[in-house]
A and B are shown apart, each in its own frame.
Chain A
Amino acid sequence: AQKVTQAQTEISVVEKEDVTLDCVYETRDTTYYLFWYKQPPSGELVFLIRRNSFDEQNEISGRYSWNFQKSTSSFNFTITASQVVDSAVYFCALSDNAGKSTFGDGTTLTVKP
């Protein structure tokens, strides 16, 4: 069975602080995919990144970076120099080859001015 744990339910930071959102996953599959999604207050789900299980390269996209470590089954997400617009619920998700996705419970990030 697949499981995704986002231990941080809520995080509050002040603008310009760096913040890391943790994600730990469990799966018995050797091929799987990891995702991060952002859900702003408007409610839509916005895709941020996808990683497959064979690609442990970390990625940076602007102020966003992701650290994938198979050894610890973690796929953490860091926002550098946070902004108020980063305030949202962030979901980590794990998908198997059949397309079944399991989502973490989400981390609500509040960035205060």
Chain B
Amino acid sequence: DTAVSQTPKYLVTQMGNDKSIKCEQNLGHDTMYWYKQDSKKFLKIMFSYNNKELIINETVPNRFSPKSPDKAHLNLHINSLELGDSAVYFCASSTRDRGQMVFFGAGTRLSVL
């Protein structure tokens, strides 16, 4: 069973559309994250939720809205997609008990045309 799974793996869409990426973890972790990796491979944290509560919210346009229905899920909704949103988005999870070891999903490659 995949520990952190995110869908879809690839997402190709037009500018202006709204899209969502789903993430689920079956590790029993209490903290989940969204990271963005741009075309230069730079990895930046976007959001972090702990037990469904937002704890980290980096400088991200408010077109990006994370939603955590329960602590095993953290979805990312993006409104009015722009060309610059094209990137690979990684979901991840961790728990304090393991010293913040972070497990990553396989990534969602978003291409905005």
Contacts and interface: CB of A to CB of B under 8 A. Distances in A.
Q: Do A and B come from one complex?
A: yes
Interface of A: 33, 35, 37, 39, 43-45, 47, 50, 52, 89, 91, 93, 95, 97-103, 105-106, 108
B66 interface: no
Nearest to A32: B100
A57 B88 CA distance: 34
B104 A89 contact: no
Interface stretch (B14-22, B40-48, B77-85): B40-48
A39 B40 CA distance: 13
16 contacts: A43-B106, A43-B109, A47-B101, A47-B102, A50-B99, A50-B100, A97-B96, A98-B55, A99-B48, A99-B55, A99-B94, A99-B100, A99-B102, A101-B33, A103-B43, A106-B42
Contacts of A37: 104
A39 B41 contact: yes
B56 A100 contact: yes
A85 to B, nearest CB: 19
A101 B45 contact: yes
Given A99-B55, A99-B94, A100-B48, A35 B102 contact: yes
A99 B31 contact: yes
Given A99-B50, A99-B55, A99-B56, A44 B106 contact: yes
A91 B106 CA distance: 16
Most buried by B among A35, A93, A101, A105: A101
A97 B95 CA distance: 10
